[in-house]
Chains A and B, each alone.
Chain A
Amino acid sequence: SAELTQDPSVSVALGQTVRITCHGDSLRSYYVSWYQQKSGQAPRVVIHSKTKRPSGIPDRLSGSSSGNTASLTITGAQAEDEADYYCSSRDRSGNRVFGGGTKLTVL
């Protein structure tokens, strides 16, 4: 099955910009989605269809994708953005796959 690779942890100073990346060959063929999971909570989608934000997600979160790399960018990070972030896509067989997750720390 396809694999998606993420950096285990990233940190950002309050108000600065951070990019969380996701690498995988499946991203050349299929769209990525991104999920935010805060401690003790269920994940929630923050970006789908590569770049679309569901209602209620602040516009400081944005998505992009090129080749085998997808990115989630947070412009002007806030304390409430501190969370684990997961990318997800699918493989040729229709199976779904998650990246290993990135823990974002806001300093």
Chain B
Amino acid sequence: QVQLQESGPGLVKPSQTLSLTCAVSGDSVSSGNYYWTWIRQHPGKGLEWIGNIFHSGTTFYNPSLKSRVTILLDRSKNKFSLNLTSVTAADSARYFCARDQTGDWVGDRWFDTWGQGTLVTVSS
């Protein structure tokens, strides 16, 4: 059974870089047909897709965050990470990592496994 676990600082100062890690167990980040994904949720709000990384290293980012986001794979430690630069209070949210499964064709995708999420607050 695949499990994902987010980790990282719960408090980040404005203008600094938010860095989170998602540890994967029960599967390999190098396995095919999965996009390793970051999603966030502002308090009391909906889900916002941040971006993902394919096992090949190809990345996709939300256009609204693209200039500040980097997602990386660490194959040796079987984890992936999120870096979000120049954070403001608007980046305070719960951050989830998830596995994005591909079905029979490229238009068939779903998030089949989620971490519990980690709350990040941006404040001085």
Contact = CB atoms under 8 A, between A and B. Distances in A.
- Ordered nearest first, which 5 A-B pairs have the shortest CB separation? A48-B110, A33-B110, A30-B107, A101-B46, A42-B114
Contacts of B37: 96
Nearest to B64: A1
Contacts of B100: 96
A99 B49 contact: no
B103 A31 contact: yes
Of the listed residues B37, B46, B61, the one surrounded by the most CB atoms of chain A closer than 10 A to its CB is B46
A49 B110 contact: yes
B117 A42 contact: yes
Contacts of B110: 31, 33, 45, 48-49, 88
B60 A33 contact: no
B63 interface: yes
Of the listed residues B47, B52, B60, B112, the one surrounded by the most CB atoms of chain A closer than 10 A to its CB is B47
Contact of B49 (A37, A48, A95): A95
B112 A98 contact: no
A79 to B, nearest CB: 22
16 contacts: A30-B108, A31-B103, A31-B110, A33-B109, A33-B110, A33-B111, A35-B111, A42-B114, A48-B103, A48-B110, A84-B46, A88-B47, A89-B109, A94-B60, A97-B49, A98-B48
A70 B48 CA distance: 19
Nearest to B58: A94
Interface in B10-55: 37, 46-49, 52
A88 B103 contact: no
B107 A96 contact: no
B8 interface: no
A60 interface: no
A37 B39 CA distance: 14
Nearest to A30: B107
